[in-house]
Amino acid sequence: MMKIFYYIPILILVISCSGEKTPTDNKKSEVLELEIIVPEFQAIIDSANVDGAILIYDLQQDKYYSNDFEWAQKGNLPASTFKITNSIIALENQVVQNDSTLFKWNGEKRRFKSWEQDLIFRDAFHFSCVPCYQEIARKIGVQKMNGYLNKLEYGNMDVDSTSIDLFWLVGKSHINQFQQIDFLKRFYLSELPISKRSEEIMKRMMIIQENDEYKLSGKTGWSYNNGVDNGWFVGYIESEGKTYFFATNVEPKNRFDMKMFLMIRKDVTFKAFGKMKVIKI
């Protein structure tokens, strides 16, 4: 059974300071009760030979679980996790019509073979086709992109005419794990100021795996900036009538086998789901 550790010493201090709590005391207690340290998550991170944090939010219990809440508040480039938001903005502005909109390959060599073909929108999303989404961002344009980023309250993006098709991969843009989950939660609960049609298309596109036990929706991301590899896996999982949101962010340690980095982001997240009994592993 998973062991749950609260910030016990601080809680005792808050409770024992006086007979009557101030509003500040109540706020501190509430924050502490909502953030639960799970040492097993740190063991998962360590065994994977990476640094970072797994952050899981239980929607029904309104509680966050993590090995490192400080790391979870550190902002990083969103990398391809931004394809969720970029897709929503594209749908809202009719840059793409639906998940079957076709992106023609111009024959130029691309980084991955899976990108060197004509792709419909949903496949461009799942194959994480950077050239396709650069084309989308350029069509949206700086003004509309910034307008929607503010409207959707998505992280802290730095977008201008020189960075419109790269800002999520390099530069000063950043989003932290709490912000990722907040955005996904508002999206899931239909609280974003977008059309129902865009929401429904995006929710279909985000499904990674669905079986009798759970439905998993999300997106991975990988940036390389200032000599540092940074990896994401964000989304939500629905299991036994409950919904859990997650944002995993990791960086490889020295002598890490980078061939494993593509899978390690999902691997550590699934192991955390197992520790929390969200899924069976």
- CA 120 to CA 97: how far, in whole Å? 11
List, in order, residues 6 or more apart from 137 with CB less than 8 Å away: 86, 145, 164, 165
> Measured between alpha carbons, how far is 249 from 227 in angstroms, rounded to an integer?
17
Give the CA-trace dihedral at 268, 269, 271, 272, to 10 degrees: 120
From the list 194, 184, 201, 80, the residue with the least C-alpha distance to 137 is 80
Task: Count the Cβ atoms, other than its own, within 10 Å of residue 26.
Answer: 11
Catalytic residue among 66, 80, 87, 173: 80
Is the CB of residue 276 less than 8 Å from the CB of residue 258?
no
User: Considering only CA atoms, which of 195, 200, 235, 224 is closest in space to residue 56?
Assistant: 235
Q: What phi and psi, each to the nearest 5 degrees, are found at residue 74?
A: -85, 130
80 is catalytic: yes
Residue 80 near residue 221, CB atoms below 8 Å: yes
How many whole angstroms separate alpha carbon 67 and alpha carbon 45?
Answer: 9
Query: Catalytic amino acids?
Result: 80
